Amino acid sequence: MEYRQLGRSGLRVSTLTLGTMTFGGQGNFAKVGSTGVDGARRQVDMALDAGVNCIDTADVYSAGVSEEIVGEVLEGRRERVVLATKARMSMGDGANDAGLSRTHLIKSVEASLRRLRTDYIDLYQVHEWDGQTPLEETLDTLDTLVRSGKVRYVGCSNYAGWQLMKALGISDRLGYQRFASQQIHVSLQAREAEYELVPASLDQGVGILVWSPLAGGLLSGKYRRGEEQPEGRQLSGWGEPPVRDEEALYSVVDVLLRVAETLGVSPAQVALAWLLGRPGVSSVIVGARTDEQLADNLAAAGLELADDQRAMLDAVSQPPLLYPYWHQANTASDRLSEADLSLIGPHLQVK
């Protein structure tokens, strides 16, 4: 297992992180998985044995049950892991039971600490944008939590590019803790994050944690062109991530299957290995309904793709250059930064 710096912070995380959205199986989250305490303990054991040092959860997963299970399973070995959780989503029916206000964040962190059976959270992430709470209030609260010792690092998730940059600018201007990371969705099936979020991370030194790297199982190899689809998250009504171009998806899957057959590994491992070689990625979050799925995902940590295999995957999944990027490719290619080239570079190579 390789360990990478989380952005510009001094924190090192394993290239694979154990995701726990499948823990609990309460309410709508039953569509994703229903792993109980015994199953969760096995999966955590497997992850730790493979060298994983980061576990990611959220207060909203199964209405807090995921955090409770993580806390129970980690008891006695809490210090071995970088423990990450999130807050923002609705946790009740009250007017202040959602969002990123000072009231909700403080209430949320105290509740997460109790459920996780710990007195500190290594990485506390705002789970989603809150356009009605001033960023100054949110960032001041997060800064206070770090200085109090209840939180070590802070991150964001699912922000737009301008929202991330606004937050970083306010933190720099007011001396608040900066986001060390952003947790975003990017995969061979959906590379929209490469337009703004990945270049912003490279430019600003923000680590990238990738959620749903297999696109809800779409890149696992079990969904194939012209075949009846098996039971899975995409058929359960979960709906994330959306599939906007089914033909493009199956074109990606065809290449995945070809590369996987050549290497003698699963398509899921190929998809994960591709992500681990992308610019700015600190860690890829893997979760699984079964122990077998998790074992297969964990094996991706040691998989190296050849340059030609990576090029095939890049080509079949490459997003088109939107404006102003096509214009910059045509007229500004002599003065592009590393961040710019993460998106524009491949298009220059084919000119």
Q: Enumerate the active-site residues.
A: 61
| CA 269 and chain centroid, separation | 16
> Rounded CA gap, 107 and 101, in Å?
10
What are 121's strand-pairing partners? Answer: 151
Q: Encoding tokens for residue 285? A: 């979050």
Strand, coil or helix: 182: strand
Beta carbons of 233 and 31 less than 8 angstroms apart: yes
**Among candidate residues 251, 274, 157, the one with its CA nearest the CA of residue 211:** 157
Strand, coil or helix: 295: helix
| CA 148 and chain centroid, separation | 26
Q: What is the DSSP string of 15-72?
A: SEEEE-TTBS--GGGGGT--B-HHHHHHHHHHHHHTT--EEE--TTGGGGHHHHHHHH
